[in-house]
Structures are given as C-alpha cells and as structure tokens.
Structure 1
C-alpha cells in the first residue's frame, strides 16, 4: 500500500470516527432539552429516513471510488469524469424522487406507528417530523457521489472534512434550534423535533459546501489529468451504471440492515405494548430502544468493525490469487480481532448498564433504560459480525448471499417480534433483533466456510480463551462495584457518581482483560509486532 493511500485511509478513518463520536456526544444535551419523549419522536422520523437514505446513497461513495480508481489506473480519466458529470444529474434526480416519495407516503406510514392506546404524539406530529427530515434527501445523494469521486483519486481529505463539517453543522443546528424552541420560546416538543430533524438538511448543506470548496480548489489539477487520458476505452452510460450498481448493491444491503430491523420495531412495538397494557410507557420505551441505548451499543461495534474491515482488502487479494493458507490466516485474524474488541466491551456495557445510561441520559427513565441496555449490549456483537461477514462475502465474490442472509434475518424478526413483545415486554424487541441477526450471521458463517473452504476451529479455541478472560474481567468489575457500593457510592445518587463508577470500572476491567491477553501472548498473536511494547515482548521471548 502506498504511503499516500495509507495516509488517506488514516484521514478518512479519523474523520469517520470523529463524526461518530460527535454523533454520540450530542445526545447528552439533546436529551436534556427535549426529554425521552422528544427522542422518541426523533426516532420515528429517522427510521424511515435512514431506509430511504440507504437505498438512495448507501454504497455510492465506495462504488464510485472503485469505478473511478479502476479507470484512472487504466489511464482512462475521461471515462471516470464522464461518470462524474452524468452521475451528478442522476443522483440529483434520485434525491428528488426519494424526497417526493418519502414526503408523499408519510400519511400512509404514520397510522402503523401510532397505536390505538394512550399516545403522547398524534399521527400529525409524526408526519411533521418525517417530512422535515426528508428534505435532506435532496442533497445527500449528490454529496455522496462527489465524495466517491475524490476518494477514487486517492484524495480522502475532502470526504473526511465534509463528514465532520456536516456533523458539526447538523448538531449545532439541532441543539440551538431545540434550545430556542423549548427553553426560550416555550413551544411544544413536536415543533422542536421538527427543527431537529430538519437539521439533517442543514448538515448536508455544510458537507456539500465543503466538497464544492475542495472542487474549485483542485479543479485545475483534475482537469489537467484529462489531457493525459488515453481515450482507448469507450463505455456506454448503460454499461457504466450497470457496473456501478454491481459495485454498490452489497453496500446498500449492509447499510440498510439495521434501519430495517428498527422499522419492524417501529410498526409493531407500540401496538404490542398497548396489547399488554403498557401503552403509557410504550413511546418512551421505543425512544430508549431505538435512540438512546442504540447509540451506546454502536460504540464498541464501530471500533470492532474499523479494526476488522481494515483486513478486508488483504482477504480479497488472497482470494483472487487463490492463496488458501493466506486467506485462512487473514480470516482468522479478522474474526479474532472483532471478538477480542467487541466481546468484553459489550459484556462490560451490559454489566454497567445503569450507571452507563445515567452517565449519558440522566436519572430519568433509568429503570427502563438500564434494563433495555443490559439486554441490548450483547446483541452488538452480532451487529459487528454481520457487517464484517458481509464485507468478507464481497471479498470472496459471494455478495449475493448478503441479500439472502439479511432477508432470512428480517423474516425471523418480523415473525417473532410481536409475539416476543407480548410475552416479554420491551425486552422482546431486543431478543427479536438478536435472533434475527444471529440467523443472518450464522448463514454468512456457513457461506464463508463453504466458498472459502474455511475452518473455524482456531477462532473457536481463541474465542473460548477470550471468554475466560471476559469472565475474569466481570469478576473484577463486580468486585469493584461491590467495594464502591460498600463505601456508599451508588450510580442512583447522581450523574457525576455514575461517570466516576463507569470510568473506574472500565479501567479496572479493561486493565485485567488486556493484562491477561498480554501475559498469554494473545495480543501478540492478534496484532503481531504492530505495537512497540509487543515488539519488545517478542524480543524478550526470543532471548
């Protein structure tokens, strides 16, 4: 990998992670302003919006970057520029159509969201916030295309900067507008959330503005590359977009997975809770499930996926070159890193559910929030495994099975969700999601085993070792919690104490886990000599 590409990948990863961190941190003041009811209404808008956004744009940056890089490598700069120029028109049309479709079908969606029991919000409230967020669809598809074009030229800075600016502009607008509406003007939460969801459009404007600035700054250089175009390859627009859709399709289904699972909750949760006499808490529980706790469980997922997906290019290369042993080695490393990072993180989050929830969202609704987070956190490992296995399927050219596995998982969720909520309350939705993802992941495991001729024996053995380390970590954390409780330090007292409890337990638990991994050389087996202290340990071992 060239130093330029390595630097670009680092910049893109850094921008993505910073954007995700900002997307998590703003939840704290946002929840304080609008309350749990406001976050519920916010979730009603973002679930359908995310589905439409995934269909309209998911995979576009990566697909376009792959297409542009391919023809640039051939010296056919004119082909990639032709895609860019025509693509702007296509993505503009796609955005307009997506906006019009979501805006127009909103009245058809809302009756399925609001149950017949006691509700804080009306169908008109839900329709207002969905239509407010739909405006972002006018801009985001074009923005995605431009990002992909820059990435195809190995220029990751524009994408990274635009992501961060988009997130900052969105968050600032959300916090300022909701504060003004609720605190200063004393208007309803519905009005505040309509402004908050419109923040997606404001953020998209900021991100697009950054990309346009980069375009004018680098336009002369990009135009100069056209003078070196060979002009020997002619690709029709039909073939061009067929190839582009082939690249983009797998990313669409990976990106749309979580929103579709949440959409099933959106259409069944309130009705099922109403059927068991819990209509009074259904809406707040739905917001906690799809917004507050979902944000928290995605923290370890993002970290694990970032580590795991970094190995996907090497897996693809080994598969194409038919190097079976090397492919097995890379698959072993990928799965082990995902388990190594995610497993202790989600178990720790589950164990610290109450103080973690209070740390981010305060004491309000902690009984329901802590309960949901305690069950939801372990499901996060399935989120990570689905993303990584889907990427591996693309690497071994079996991406069609991603569609099948997702379909099976959604079918399981759809069949069981209402029944599970009737039997188990709000936890039933979590278990339904876990079962659906588990089926999808197991199917992907089977496909990888069959088409990559891969054995899971080593991963299973190493995972058992990680499980032992995690059990020891749990004992350490539980002991730490007991000691603090004996000293009168309780998370139920205040948010400040909850923050202290989470930090102390995270340090003691994390230190025990990594110490055991270091002493048994598991860290070295997973990461090789990438870290200085591991290289030192290797040298000592050789002596």
Structure 2
C-alpha cells in the first residue's frame, strides 16, 4: 500500500518536474533568443540610428498584429487540442487536427501577406511615417512563413515536447541577427545614394529598417526548414501509431469547428492584448503632430521606445515560456479532474514567474543608466534611460498578466482573457489620451502600458480565484522576492556607483566604462538575490525539487 502511494507521489512529482523542466527549457531558450536579439540590435541601431529604429518599430507593430491573425494563436490552440487527443489516446484525431490547421495556415498566411504587401503605403501613411512602408513590404513574406511555423510549433508542444520549439527559436534568431545586420548595412548604403538622388534624408533610414526586416524573414524560413526536417523524420512513426488507433475519428468539419472554437477566443484576446502597440503608435504620432511636434522627433522618440522594449522583453520571455508549457499540462490535469495537480501547477507557474520578474524590475530600474549606455549609447541616451526607469515596472505586471492569461486558457475559460483584454484596452486608451494631451510625450505611452498590465492582472487573478478557489500565498509568492530584490538593489547600486566613481568621467559614460561598472553589479545582484531568498527560508526542499538545478541548492537549506 505504501509502495503504491510512493509510486503515485513519484509520478506526480515527475509530472510537476516535467512541467517546470519544459517551462525552464523554453525560458532559457526565450531568454537566449532575447539576448541574441538585444545583441544584434546594438549594431543594427548603430547602423540605422534612432530614426531608422522608429520605422523599424512601427513596421513590427503592424507585422505583429497581422501575425496574430495568421499564426500567433495557433501554437496555443493546436497544442491544447493535441494534448487533449493524446490524453484520450485518439491518435488519428491528432493528425486530423494537423491537416485542418495546415489549411487554415495556408489561407490566413496568404491573406495577411497580401494585406501587408499591398497595403504598406496606406498603413504607413496612417501612422504618419510614410517611409515605414519599405520595412512593411519586406515583412510580408514572413507573415506567411510564420503561419506554418506556428502550426508545427503548436503540434510538437501539444505532444509535450518543447525542445523543437526551443531549438527553432534559437536557430531563427541567430539567422535573423546575422542577416538583419548584413542587409541593414548594405541597404543603408543604398539609401544614402537615394538620399542624394531624391534630395531627402529619410531613404537611408527607411532602407536600413527594410534590411533589418528582411533578416527576420530569413530567420523564420530557416526555423521552418528545421521543423519540416524534424516532422519528416518522425512522420512514419506518427502514422504507424495512428493506424493502430481504433477510436472513432472526428470529421474534418468537426475538427475544423473545434480548432476555430479554440483558436478564435485566443486569437481575439491576443489581438486585443497586442493591438495596443499599434494604437499607441497611431495616437502618439497623431496627437504629437497636432501638438506641432516635428516629425523627425516623433520618429526618433518612437525608436527610443522600441529600444526600451528590447530590454523589457528579455525578462518577460520567462512568462511567455512558462505559459507555452503550462497550457497542455494544465489542460490534461483539468481533463483528468486532478484538482491537486491543477492547483499545484497554477501556484508553481505564478511563483516561478515572479521569482524572475520582481528582481528584473528592480534591476532595470536601478541599473538603467549603465545598461542603456552600454547597449544603446547615442545622443538620445538620457531619454532612453528615463523611459527604462519608469517602464521597468511593466516587467512585473506583464509577466503576471501573461501567465494568468495562460492559466485561464488552460482551465478552459478562453473567453475571460478576451473580456479582460477589452476592458484593460479601453482603460489603457483613456489613460493614454489623457497623458498625451497632458504633454507627457513618450512617457505617457510607457505609463499607459503599465496601467494596461495592472488592470489585466487584477481581472485575471480575480477570475482564477473565483473559478478554482485557488488561494495564492502572496507573501511567499511575491513578498519574499520583493524583500530580496530590495536588498539586492541596494548593494548592486552601491557596487555600480563605486566602480563608476573610480573610473575617469569620459570612460565611465562610454560603452566600455558602463560595461565595467554594470557587469560586477549584476553578479553581486544575482548572488545576493538568491542568497537572501535562501537565508529567509523562502524555499522548501520540495520547491527546489521543482526548480531547475534546485538539487544543488538543497545543501543550503536547513532541516
């Protein structure tokens, strides 16, 4: 009897560890991808300058929105359906879901690519940045490629295998980095020739942004080739398994209906959740123009906002990774009516997300100056530093809102994130308009984005508690990380300030001097943060069992 209980306990722990391991794998890949993205944006920004970054950021906002409609919701929806079928051992239906998804990807990818290519001039004109049309057209083929890529990522994630997604993301970003910088360099030079020919200064920035956009397409294509080779290798085994399946097969119409009913709420919710960046761009450009702010300054400030988002996206990658790995396993737990496992995964996902988001928020705020001077030095670096300090708070609330969205989706409440996104978007836009007309400029965009995420967190957490009666120990979940982060922040800032004070003034404000003062401060921050958590007994041995490499930290836990 005891042996049987021990086996059940071991099985549950193994399932929990697998969830955290898969999430950690995607988190590491996601953070690595963001780091590569940050590293290559340094030379890219140096080539195309803040003005080129403005065109690049605007084009990517539109590209992201169309990407949501064509493929963004596919990994989540497909992984959910695949995991449900696998849990019931309906292997033939998994293949049917894949075929229906392929048809959707083909149609929607083509439509969105057509809209982006032929509507580039109209879209760029509406954003008050006509030269952004070059980057928009360059991104059109990528929308179609990403539709198929999203399909295959969702398929393998639904099978509980996050490794292909992690590898493909890294391959995609490496190729993106190499070709973005190379094409931006070549096309920026061509743009200078066009400047002389047409007596205009903007062609070099626009062509440089277009070069960066081309690199994105090359990266996506290489990732797609990787998945096609992987699927071709596994296809015989998958088809053999499906042939042995004697369960009833759903019709194509039924499979399509299930796919759409799963995808549409996620799609609309994601659209509402991400359309804010496009609306921010539109309202910011329009209102600043009405306030008689020069167009060149508007484009430059939007480029600064794009650089801030590069820094912001790195820690948020953890929440995205955890949400991707959470949905299939949480769906399976709900389907098997395993309440203990369901509540455990909810608590674990929120806690691990906060363990990273809280110190990153504090770190971005106190170390904003050396971070920005090291990565994006330039004539407008002080504006970037101030934006980063204010916007650091967004890391905490976007991480929490992202993971809580995934929890609600995994629980089967697909419409709730949509409802909450709409409410939060209305609140966000109202605050944005008030702030912009109050002449806060780009700071108004940053603050209104924070308010959007806060509203999402409040609504999502209330819904999770209402539907699961899950009680989150916020003292343990967020209290310990905040206290440890404050201790970390004081000593990390002291380390930075001391080194910065000892360096010559000219060197201290340059890229090399900033790196010399920042890197030791980050090392001190990491050691003190986790050291403080261990000292406060914030972790139990069971917690460390679920944490990546947690076994090595067990010796620091008192019995």
With the length of structure 2 as denominator, give the TM-score of the two structures. 0.85
Query: Relative to 1, partners in 2 of residues 1:176 and 1:244: Cα closer, same or farther, differing over 3 Å?
Result: same
**Structure-2 residue corresponding to 1:515:** 531
**Structure-1 residue corresponding to 2:209:** 193
Structure 1 residue 532 and structure 2 residue 546: aligned? no
Alpha-carbon distance in structure 1 between the residues aligned to 2:18 and 2:393: 38
**Structure-1 residue corresponding to 2:222:** 206
Of 237-246 and 70-79, more deviation after overlay is shown by 70-79
1:252 Cα deviation from its structure 2 partner: 3.0
Aligned length: 529
Structure 1 residue 451 and structure 2 residue 467: aligned? yes
**Structure-2 residue corresponding to 1:266:** 281
Alpha-carbon distance in structure 2 between the residues aligned to 1:381 and 1:44: 24
Q: Greater relative contact order (Cα 8 A, min sep 6): structure 1 or 2?
A: 2
* 1:130 maps to which of 127, 136, 158: 136
* 1:24 maps to which of 33, 38, 49: 38
Alpha-carbon distance in structure 2 between the residues aligned to 1:484 and 1:505: 9
Query: Relative to 1, partners in 2 of residues 1:492 and 1:418: Cα closer, same or farther, differing over 3 Å?
Result: farther
**Structure-2 residue corresponding to 1:425:** 441
Alpha-carbon distance in structure 1 between the residues aligned to 2:508 and 2:272: 35
Alpha-carbon distance in structure 2 between the residues aligned to 1:304 and 1:61: 16
Conservation of the 8 A alpha-carbon contact between 2:500 and 2:517: no
**Structure-2 residue corresponding to 1:220:** 236
Conservation of the 8 A alpha-carbon contact between 2:405 and 2:417: yes
Runs of 5+ in structure 1 lacking a partner?
A: 115-121
SS in 2 for 1:149: helix
Alpha-carbon distance in structure 2 between the residues aligned to 1:185 and 1:264: 29
Conservation of the 8 A alpha-carbon contact between 1:308 and 1:337: no
Query: Relative to 1, partners in 2 of residues 1:219 and 1:401: Cα closer, same or farther, differing over 3 Å?
Result: closer
Alpha-carbon distance in structure 2 between the residues aligned to 1:301 and 1:417: 22
**Structure-2 residue corresponding to 1:101:** 115
Conservation of the 8 A alpha-carbon contact between 1:78 and 1:229: yes
**Structure-2 residue corresponding to 1:119:** none
Alpha-carbon distance in structure 1 between the residues aligned to 2:343 and 2:490: 34
- Any residues of structure 2 matched to 1:233-248 within 5 Å, and which? 233-248=248-263
Alpha-carbon distance in structure 2 between the residues aligned to 1:480 and 1:180: 41
**Structure-1 residue corresponding to 2:125:** 111
Alpha-carbon distance in structure 2 between the residues aligned to 1:69 and 1:332: 21
Alpha-carbon distance in structure 2 between the residues aligned to 1:185 and 1:126: 13
**Structure-1 residue corresponding to 2:3:** none
**Structure-2 residue corresponding to 1:436:** 452
Query: Relative to 1, partners in 2 of residues 1:313 and 1:217: Cα closer, same or farther, differing over 3 Å?
Result: closer
Structure 1 residue 463 and structure 2 residue 482: aligned? no
1:271 Cα deviation from its structure 2 partner: 2.8
1:337 Cα deviation from its structure 2 partner: 2.8
Of 44-53 and 142-151, more deviation after overlay is shown by 142-151
Structure 1 residue 352 and structure 2 residue 367: aligned? yes
SS in 1 for 2:120: helix
Alpha-carbon distance in structure 2 between the residues aligned to 1:495 and 1:84: 49
Runs of 5+ in structure 2 lacking a partner?
A: 1-13, 194-203
With the length of structure 1 as denominator, give the TM-score of the two structures. 0.87
1:435 Cα deviation from its structure 2 partner: 1.1
Conservation of the 8 A alpha-carbon contact between 1:92 and 1:139: no
Write the deviation string for residues 319-370 of structure 1: whole angstroms up to 9, x where unpaired.
Answer: 5666666655554443333323211211111111121111111233111111
RMSD between aligned residues? 3.1
Alpha-carbon distance in structure 1 between the residues aligned to 2:327 and 2:159: 20
1:536 Cα deviation from its structure 2 partner: 1.9
1:150 Cα deviation from its structure 2 partner: 3.9
Alpha-carbon distance in structure 1 between the residues aligned to 2:176 and 2:270: 21
Alpha-carbon distance in structure 2 between the residues aligned to 1:332 and 1:156: 21
1:33 Cα deviation from its structure 2 partner: 1.3
SS in 1 for 2:248: coil
